[in-house]
Structure 1
Amino acid sequence: MSKKGRNKPAELIKRIERKAPEYLDLLTAGNDSDVELAFNALLDKSLRNLESNRTHYASLDEEGLTAVLSGALSVPGLTVTQEAHSNGHVDITIDFDHCVPARRKLGEAKIEGGPRRHVKGLEQLLDRYTTGRELGGLLILYVRLPNISARVKKLRDAMDASPPRSQKGTTQDHVLLQWAFASTHVLKSGNPHEVSHVACNMCPK
């Protein structure tokens, strides 16, 4: 093979890194932690797109907003499906196509409406849809009321004061995303399962 031919893979990697760094991070992720970091970077980018165009999406309901989010998340390396079946119709199913072993994340999406509604969505995600083989859970909150920071804090305080669904310890700050936190719950299988609670600022004013 010529020297020029040998350089082609390196040139391709450099091009991908320049044009689609999120795809490269997903492709090269070696463990669950790396997969989560790569996914969160892509999720952050997708949420920012929703927020910067929120006036255009003001008339959309949960399903409509989730359709926009799913489209933004659908990049090479990720298959994002709405209303797929897993003991019911899951709002978002995310398959990591290039991961070995196979990895999947399930997500529930809600218009944020206070702690009681939030816990109901969490219980639905954990008790109905999650099998225990997934890579963590995802609860997306579309916040249309003012002061998203205070509303997220209210949710955390409520969960810490009255831990729902076999929650282990208190909620934790999310490692990457703004207006987000994480909680760990013991599934019926006995396995611990971390859920990311991620708010998206859709307040129209």
Structure 2
Amino acid sequence: MSPRVAFDGSLERLLGLLEAHNPSLLALLRVETEGEFIEATEGAIDSALRTIESGAKLYAKLDERGMSLLLADFLNKSGFQATAERYVNGHVDVVIEHAFGGRWKYLGECKIHRGYQYHIDGCEQVLGYCTGRERRAFCLDFFDGAGMYQKLANLRKDMDAKLPLAQTAPSVGHAITGAFVTVHTHKSERGVELLHLGCAVPKP
């Protein structure tokens, strides 16, 4: 018969396992502000995209809806609360909610990369889904060809030159490789941040 483990000891062990294997979920459990929720969620998104990229040969055949469902599925498996194709002022590709109280939402649009204007169309869609209460949303491009990071850099350069969708200032960098953040004046007259990022799923 194995010895009993004190509750405090078992909780400490669980937290240690989370920190080692799922740090984004541990961060989510500890969030107290919307900024912390965004940071934890983006860590989970980055982890999900790395998983998708590691199985790119299997997933490259999926369309935009399939990619959205795949992303939401990986987020759910990591302990986050995500739904795909949910209605929030339209059919949002991915909705991620604060699982403990539902205080915050993070909306996302997923696109197969087809150049600057197609990405901007996706940004316009996700800004239209936002109510103005959200601090940040994301527009994710799946790249089925080569050169993702250079294409993201070109996209950033073009957005900073053209300032589309009431972009208020040049973009800033982000911890996720190749990603960047812009701020746009929403129809509510509040500024909403957009995270732009990519996932490489080159066709075989």
Normalised by the length of structure 1, the TM-score is 0.89
1:119-134 residue pairs with structure 2 within 5 A? Answer: 119-126=120-127, 128-134=128-134
Residues 61, 203 of structure 2: 8 Å contact kept: no
C-alpha distance in 1, partners of 2:113/2:78?
30
Residues 38, 106 of structure 2: 8 Å contact kept: no
Q: Name the Cα RMSD after superposition.
A: 1.9
1:77-116 residue pairs with structure 2 within 5 A? Answer: 78-98=80-100, 102-116=103-117
C-alpha distance in 1, partners of 2:106/2:19?
24
Q: Sort the Cα spacing of 1:11 and 1:190 in 2 relative to 1 into closer, same or farther, 3 A.
A: same
After superposition, what is the alpha-carbon deviation per residue over 1:49-93, rounded to whole angstroms, capped at 9, x for unaligned?
111111111211111112111111114652111111112111111
Partner residue of 1:158?
A: 158
Residues 45, 75 of structure 2: 8 Å contact kept: yes
After superposition, what is the alpha-carbon deviation per residue over 1:90-145, rounded to whole angstroms, capped at 9, x for unaligned?
1111111125x70101100000111111111111111x211012241010100112
SS at match of 1:56: helix
Residues 77, 96 of structure 1: 8 Å contact kept: no
Q: Sort the Cα spacing of 1:24 and 1:154 in 2 relative to 1 into closer, same or farther, 3 A.
A: same
Please tell me whether residue 199 in structure 1 is matched to residue 201 in structure 2.
Answer: no
Partner residue of 2:39?
A: 37
- One-letter code aligned to 2:138: L
C-alpha distance in 2, partners of 1:153/1:21?
28
Q: Sort the Cα spacing of 1:203 and 1:79 in 2 relative to 1 into closer, same or farther, 3 A.
A: same
Gaps of 5+ in 2: none
C-alpha distance in 2, partners of 1:58/1:17?
31
Q: Sort the Cα spacing of 1:170 and 1:6 in 2 relative to 1 into closer, same or farther, 3 A.
A: closer
SS at match of 2:56: coil
1:163-178 residue pairs with structure 2 within 5 A? Answer: 163-174=163-174, 176-178=175-177
C-alpha distance in 2, partners of 1:5/1:105?
34
Q: Sort the Cα spacing of 1:16 and 1:112 in 2 relative to 1 into closer, same or farther, 3 A.
A: same
1:182-193 residue pairs with structure 2 within 5 A? Answer: 182-193=181-192
Q: Sort the Cα spacing of 1:11 and 1:168 in 2 relative to 1 into closer, same or farther, 3 A.
A: same
- One-letter code aligned to 2:156: R
Percent identity between the two aligned chains:
31
Residues 23, 75 of structure 1: 8 Å contact kept: no
Stretch deviating more after TM superposition (49-58 or 7-16): 7-16
C-alpha distance in 2, partners of 1:4/1:144?
51
How many pairs were matched up? 200
- One-letter code aligned to 1:190: E
- Residue 11 of structure 1 deviates from its aligned partner by 4.0
Partner residue of 1:48?
A: 50
